Structure 1
Amino acid sequence: MDGFQRRREQKKQNILEAALLLFMDIGVQKVSISDIAKRANVSQVTIYNYFESKHNLVHEVFIYYIDKATSDFEKVINSAIPFPEKIKMLIFNKKEVSSTINEEFYQYLMKEYSSSEGNYIEKIYAEKAVPYLHLLFKEGKEQGYIYKNLSEEAMLFYIYMLKDYIQREEVYQKILPLTEDIMNIFFYGIMGKEQE
């Protein structure tokens, strides 16, 4: 990649990051192209040259956000920290996101997720999340934190049930404040037996 292309990609990244931060903080509807341009230190024309419309920009931010979340998940899974710490980090990340994300932006993400455009999430889920969950479950079993007789199929079935359920509009409209509790139930069960 030559210098021009590298600068172009960096500018696009800056626009996506600026838009994401504004959407997370204020929501999609209240943020203008002008706001994003100021935050990214580019002109509005530059944003339109890259994305053509706010709708396209929002969609690209959605993909950028999913890629970023996937990368963060991969880093935790691949880290050398002990299994219980990985689980705590995953729960903390979910808690942090759920407490900092704008409700309207979250609703938009979930609507995209449950629509035909949500196929991107399905693709990432199948190609990256599921294989990493296999690794996490294997590690947890090997270290004695997950019951050895608990099948991976049952754990994945449970995850798929959750994933399919939260795609329903009446569910995703209410789920944001419950994110940490849902993660705790998944990893520790309703008995709350956290591993210390």
Structure 2
Amino acid sequence: MDGFEKRRNDKKAIILQTALELFGKYGFEKVTVTEIAEKAHVSKVSIYNFFESKDNLRRIIVKNILDESLNETKALVEKECSFIDKMREYLENRIIYENRYNMDFFFEAVESDPVLRQYLDDFNIENKRLISCLIKEGKKIGYFSADISDTAIEIYIDIFYHYFLHNRKIRPTLEQNPKLAEEINLLFLNGLIRHREQ
């Protein structure tokens, strides 16, 4: 990558980060492109050249959030380590992820944009496939019960994700209480754990 391309990419990253912070703090509707440009120390023209519109800027931010989450889970599935360490890291990643972003901003964006709704649907399909890979690995070593069918596990995952997707009231509670988020993730996994004598 040459110097020009690096400067271009750095400028885009600053715009994206600044917009994410402002949207999360003040809400998408209240933030103007002028305010994003001023805080990012770029021109409005640069924002329009890179992202076309404020709506598309938000769309790219949300897609990046989903892509980042999916890449973390893919890397975890492929990682060479013990299954227990994988599950511990999976929980830690989820807790960090839930606290890294303003979830109201995220869900408002998804709920108001059909393109993002479709992107989230596609994300959920792939994410569920990856989590199923982890669960199958857990079954193979006897950590999760082999008596539970893959179909039942998929429904269980769907119930868990749909609750958080559609229950807006719980989002601020989880954002403000990481311990509660950790407990919910543990309960999710405990529903699958095979009970064995120590």
Indicate the residue corresponding to 2:44 in structure 1: 44
CA shift at 1:104, angstroms?
A: 3.8
Q: Which stretch shows the higher mean deviation, 115-124 or 67-76?
A: 115-124
Residue pair 1:83, 1:140 contacting (<8 A) in 2 also: yes
Indicate the residue corresponding to 1:172 in structure 2: 168
Q: Which stretch shows the higher mean deviation, 50-59 or 9-18?
A: 9-18
Matched, 1:119 2:115: no
Q: Which stretch shows the higher mean deviation, 20-29 or 84-93?
A: 20-29
TM-score, normalised via structure 2 length:
0.74
Q: 2:140 aligns with which of 142, 149, 169?
A: 142
Q: How does 1:48-127 map to 2 (within 5 A)?
A: 48-102=48-102, 104-109=104-109, 111-112=111-112, 117-126=116-125
Cα gap change, 1:71/1:38 in structure 2, threshold over 3 Å: closer, same or farther? farther
Residue pair 1:25, 1:100 contacting (<8 A) in 2 also: no
CA shift at 1:71, angstroms?
A: 0.9
1:132-169, CA deviations, whole angstroms, 9 ceiling, x for partnerless residues?
A: 1231111111122111211111111111122333333x
CA shift at 1:8, angstroms?
A: 4.5
Cα gap change, 1:123/1:131 in structure 2, threshold over 3 Å: closer, same or farther? same
Q: Which has the higher contact order (CA 8 A, sep 6+)?
A: 1
- Secondary structure of 1:167's partner? helix
- In structure 1, what residue type is equivalent to 2:144? I
1:57-82, CA deviations, whole angstroms, 9 ceiling, x for partnerless residues?
A: 11211111111111111112211121
TM-score, normalised via structure 1 length:
0.75
Q: Which stretch shows the higher mean deviation, 60-69 or 102-111?
A: 102-111
CA distance in 2, matches of 1:30, 1:180: 33
Count, aligned residues: 189
Matched, 1:163 2:165: no
Q: Which stretch shows the higher mean deviation, 18-27 or 59-68?
A: 18-27
Give RMSD over aligned pairs: 3.3
- In structure 1, what residue type is equivalent to 2:129? P
Q: Structure 1, unaligned stretches of length 5 or more?
A: none
CA distance in 2, matches of 1:79, 1:26: 38
CA distance in 2, matches of 1:135, 1:158: 15
Identity %, equivalent residues: 30
Cα gap change, 1:156/1:83 in structure 2, threshold over 3 Å: closer, same or farther? same
- In structure 2, what residue type is equivalent to 1:181? E
Cα gap change, 1:172/1:78 in structure 2, threshold over 3 Å: closer, same or farther? farther
Q: Which stretch shows the higher mean deviation, 57-66 or 88-97?
A: 88-97
Q: Structure 2, unaligned stretches of length 5 or more?
A: 175-180
- Secondary structure of 2:170's partner? coil
